[in-house]
Structure 1
Amino acid sequence: MSADGLAIEVRNLTKTYPDGVRALDGVTFEVPTGTVFGLLGPNGAGKSTTIKILTTLARPDSGRARVAGRDVVAEPARVRRAIGYVAQQSGCDPADTGRENLMLQGRLYGLGGRALRERADGLLERFGLTDVADRLVKTYSGGMRRKLDVAMGLVHEPRVLFLDEPTTGLDPEARVALWREIGAMARAGITVVLTTHYLEEADELADALAILDRGTVVAQGSPEGLKKALQGDSVQVQLTEPAESRTVKHALADVGGVHDIVVSGREVRARVDAGASSAPAVLSALESADLRVASVTLSAPTLDEVYLRHTGRSFRSAQEGDIT
């Protein structure tokens, strides 16, 4: 690791693909050693491109990145020996057993003999795969395959583990089980970098995170710190019929302490300085403008509200509108 305790240093990364799509535009962040760091953003935000550069699978157009103290462009072989990488798509060979997949992965890193066998056995036990170790991977469930993918990423004992959308497609039980393993890795001193488009996953796991939108970092910090920076509460109103954004904003223009108004069909979302006193005024103003209310909800700040504050749109609308 670097002398200043950073597992990863990223400075002003840019990347434009041949079709003209600018995937990264000045991405900058740092990851302290032994933490879980989340790259949060909708599809197309630049998360996977960032991971590809940090794992030496792609080269930036400009900027600099260091992983485990090594420059990803100047020293790619040394970076690869220090990291593990679990891609979105499974890297397991379905025609081999779980044990055979782990053994092969270890040999690719120069491991062998008794040490490799013991390492494989330990990982199979750790991820609850001992009973199926000698079954073909094609018979595994999705959760079992994902556990094996992560075990393969750990077989050579990397200092930094990259997990690209690790829980996509998993059922809730398998997702929570993998969350527990990710937390255990960080407690054991492994730096974990994960990309995710699940807000609750970033909130649950990350010690710190960077929120990406359209190739730029729009906010970074701890989940709690980012949420606390938003004063007041969130009010979400469901109207009985869809409304125009300008109509809603005009209706709420004279209500004090209301800001960051976003309208999507029947849903109205806004930040209010004092939820208990502001909510009745919001409802009254909407009703006075012939905008009938079906329901209203007050909540504490969320990561979705953080994203809304910095981008002007909700995370859900961004996820639905962007292309991977």
Structure 2
Amino acid sequence: MSVGIVSYGAYIPRYRIKIEDIARVWGDDAEILKAGLRVNEKSVPDVDEDAATIAVEAARSAVSRSGIDSQRVGAVYTGSESHPYAVKPTSTIVAEAVGATPVLTAADYEFACKAGTAAIQTCMGLVSSGMIDLGLAIGSDVAQGAPGDALEYTAAAGGVAYVIGNKESELTAIIEDTYSFTTDTPDFWRREGMPYPEHGGRFTGEPGYFKHVTHAAKGLMQKIGTKPEDYDYAVFHQPNGKFPARAASMLGFSKEQIQPGMVVTRLGNTYSGSCMMGIAATLDQAKPGDRIFATAFGSGAGSDAFSITVTDRIEEIRDSAPKVEELLANPTYVDYATYARHKGKIRLA
């Protein structure tokens, strides 16, 4: 029995800040930063937006896009690095907001930027076992970056939700298989009570990102007997524009394969929503029969790889909720002071 994506939905705040406006405050060279990061601007949450409200908006789009009965959702899992409560689940808020309560099981996930794809894998297992009818897996973040830190140039806000099921007539995309590669690599961390994460600088590339992404990707292709040319599209975690392009090249994927899902240049890094946002942007333009290869990465560290085939149903539901490109369009730009207020970087005594 096949298992896969029944529906999907995304949400991106309308506010943006340009790299130049951040660099101007810290005296950095914006052109050098843009060339190195391959990011021009990033999304900024509104003053009343957090990982929970973003997750709710994405989940509502996912439910409405396919017109499913939300009472069929038996599991809600939300992955995030920025859950608004240390003790109080985001997932119960989402379940209530979409009308899925009482829900059989709900929990919040944390694994840096791959918590959302871990939620997808969990829902796949629960659906395949028959424990639930549909599962709702979400990656949502209001990403943190300390003032003046390199992360501040890319840490963005956004979320994506996927409804996972196994009824053939409902599947928009079949998840053929998944494979993960995980080690204890402390390349990025934030202790309880710390407002901003710390990172190991260049070690976030190797032995963090590239080791885990390539091992998971190669592991999946070896497991199911595929190669890069078997896929129409490829998506890799997008902490910046440079890393996914390099990972694709290392694995044998082309620029043309990754371009449709490369949203980081105008969005920034949405952490748990990053790879999932790239998949959503790809689904927004994929045709029935197209195959998508995707690999998420989370510091700490691990990667989840997926092989996905799009079905005919994509044509039926695609236009029933906002597409990623529509969410990226017509932004409202803010200056650094407004951005700092929206992000809570300015604290009252």
User: What TM-score results when the alignment is normalised by the length of structure 1?
Assistant: 0.29
- Structure 1 or 2, whichever has the larger Rg, is 1
If asked which structure has higher relative contact order (CA below 8 Å, sep 6+), I would say: 2
User: What TM-score results when the alignment is normalised by the length of structure 2?
Assistant: 0.27
